[in-house]
Amino acid sequence: MTDIRNDCLNLIMAVLEEHRPSHLVMAGYLDAHRDLPDMDRSFVKRLVIGVVERRITLDHVIDSVSKTKTAGMKPVIRNIILMGVYQLLYMNVPDSAACNESVKLTKKRGLVNLSGFVNGVLRNIARNKEELAGFGNDNSENNTGRMSIRYSMPEWIVRYFLDNYGEEAAIKAFDYYFEPSKTCIRCNASRISPEELFERLTARGICVSRTERARCMVLRDNPGLGSIPEFTEGLFTVQDMSSVMAGEIADVAGNEVVLDLCAAPGGKSMNIADRLTTGSVLACDISEQKVAMIEENIRRCRLNNISTRVNDAAVFVPEFEAAFDIVIADVPCSGLGIIGRKPDIKYNMSPEGQKELVTLQRRILDNAVRYVRPGGQLLFSTCTVNRAENEENVAYIAAKGYDCELQRQLLPGDNGADGFFYSKLIRK
């Protein structure tokens, strides 16, 4: 397993040291290693995502036994030890294997002189696992710090949840982030009924369950989408239930002309297109690469009522003014609702970053409000829980001549779905 662990180290460093998005790093690796045995694929996913998820907790455990704190370690050594500790505390890996393989990996990286240090730290933790298992569960008065360690969550995010939603909601959200990932799919009802899709998937031996949303189902054990004919035929697409709900609030007669300003990878555009008869959707995003993602999904789902365009949503387009019955503005956001899917978000976002995002969001919304025809609908949404990015932006839109007909904040874990905010506003 040493080579696999070396791959894991490269992936972890790409996320934690180079700040590359974890979901893209992992997807790229798995795509390039399609012949990897299932056991090895599972090991890589579990170890890499686990270390990223538990980084703060792991740092705390290491710092409690090591004179050299993680912040002062060489990045390679720090991440080798993080990997070793995760295996000791969270994986069904023998203590001896977790320690010995970490030492081998240290030597493989040309750091023989530090192999004894790595061995000492890990064996110390292995000997005291039961005692260390209580991290974050003490009765200290610093509730924020305790929850930060226990849930591996930056203190500023813990404080925000506690101040705005209370401890019960915070714990529910943080627990949800650690739940095993599941794949939520939306049936393309214009191609196949949800009932028939469910029967076909079940007949293939795929563990699938229905949800309260008629078109949404959950794949519990995803065998790989490329191996499912119903996926390659475009009979369903991957879309979290909260994102589906954000699109379902639109009043659709079937003949609407729709603009999706920040559409990639195209889930919301296709959700609306699936409900149209004579109408059409223009799906836009800022780069050729993002538009290519949309186009790939459109082709697979065989939807002929969607066109695409490379467009910067923050730049006004005169030809769009008052031209659309429905405008979808699912704007770039801090992503605090989807930390369970993209755990690196919690390390790369900050209160300052949120403020910068609000500025960008309002540049986009300044344009979006002008693209809706009088009487038309503006669907505004984010995948965060930050009131400045959500409710305050709704008030900002309303002040520009809109009536807010509906708004809802879903916290992570509500209805078994990601954290999401969505609203529907009508232009006067």
Contact 410, 419 (CB under 8 A): yes
Q: Given its phi and psi angles, is residue 289 left (phi above 0), alpha (psi -120 to 50 degrees) or beta?
A: alpha
Residue 233: which residues within 8 A CB-CB, separation 6 or more?
Answer: none
Strands (E), 270-419: 280-285, 306-310, 324-330, 372-382, 402-410
| Catalytic residue flag (residue 383) | yes
Considering the candidates 8, 187, 383, 404, report the single residue annotated as catalytic: 383
Residue with tokens 């972890």: 12
DSSP 411: P
Q: Which residues pair with 382 in a beta bridge?
A: 421
Which residue is it, tokens 């974050």?
Answer: 136
Residue 89 and residue 82: Cα distance in Å, rounded?
11
Element (H, E) at 216: strand 216-219
Region class of 322: left (phi > 0), else alpha (psi between -120 and 50), else beta: left
CA distance 284 to 291: 7
Distance from C-alpha of 229 to C-alpha of 209, rounded to nearest angstrom? 18
- 116/129 Cα distance (integer angstroms): 20
- For residue 27, the Cα-to-chain-centroid distance in whole angstroms is 13
Supply the DSSP symbol for 114: G
DSSP codes of every residue in 248-310: HTS---S--EEEESS-TT-HHHHHHHTT-SS-EEEEEESSHHHHHHHHHHHHHHT-SSEEEEE
CA distances in angstroms from 48 to 13, 24, 41, 79, listed in the order given: 10, 13, 11, 10
Q: How are beta strands 324-330 and 257-260 bridged, if at all?
A: parallel
Give the count of beta carbons closer than 10 Å to the beta carbon of residue 240: 23
Q: Give catalytic residue positions.
A: 383
